[in-house]
Amino acid sequence: MPLMQDLGGQMWKEYAKADSRYMTIEPFVVSMETVTAVFWGPLSYIIAWMILVKSPYRHPTQILVSMGQFYGDVLYYGTSILEDYYNGRSYSRPEGYYYWGYFIFLNAFWIAIPAYCMYQSSSAFVTAFRKSESQSEKKKL
């Protein structure tokens, strides 16, 4: 990516100012981005299709992908913050807007959106189970 001059390469380099691990072959970031690209990305397109066709499999798949994204972002924040705290190694430039704007704010979407999707699917599960239980109770009577 450091040699890329197109828009994607430039955006990647700009984000790397908030997290320099993106300009190296840092094992955690490579692993996390690989899982995202290979699993969460394609499954997100499948979830979008499931929403369109109203598939009942949307909710378990949505919870799986959302939990993976959520967990990945918690680890992403955690590894960087703990590295700074314990070893004094910051991966962000010293200007506050790189850390707070790029690193914290932009990545917070990967916490908030999956959390909402997990809540949405969990609510659908609860509604379905309550409906199923009430129907089975009516059959017993």
> What are the distances in angstroms from CA 98 to CA 79, 82, 130?
17, 18, 47
Q: 105, 43 in Cβ contact below 8 A?
A: no
Distance CA 90, CA 19 (A): 8
What does the pLDDT average to over 33-38?
94
Residue 3 has pLDDT above 70, yes or no: yes
Asked whether residue 79 is domain-assigned, the answer is yes
Q: 99, 18 in Cβ contact below 8 A?
A: yes
Residue 103 has pLDDT above 70, yes or no: yes
**How high is the pLDDT of residue 44?**
96
Task: Say what percent of the chain tops pLDDT 90.
Answer: 58
**How high is the pLDDT of residue 110?**
92
pTM for the whole thing? 0.83
Asked whether residue 74 is domain-assigned, the answer is yes
Q: Which residue has the tokens 């499954």?
A: 43
Q: Please compute, for residue 27, the number of CA atoms within 13 A of its CA located in the half-sphere on the CB side.
A: 0
Asked whether residue 1 is domain-assigned, the answer is no
Domain count of the fold of the chain: 1
> What are the distances in angstroms from CA 11 to CA 21, 22, 93, 125?
15, 11, 16, 39
Asked whether residue 13 is domain-assigned, the answer is no
- Token readout for 135 is 């129907």
Question: Any idea which of 10-14, 59-63, 71-75, 114-118 has the lowest mean pLDDT?
Answer: 10-14
Residue 9 has pLDDT above 90, yes or no: no
Asked whether residue 10 is domain-assigned, the answer is no
Asked whether residue 14 is domain-assigned, the answer is no
- Residue 30: alpha-carbon gap to chain centroid: 15
The pLDDT tens digits of the residues spanning 22-34 come to 888 899 999 999 9
Asked whether residue 89 is domain-assigned, the answer is yes
For residue 109, what are the domain limits? 30-140
What does the pLDDT average to over 80-95?
87
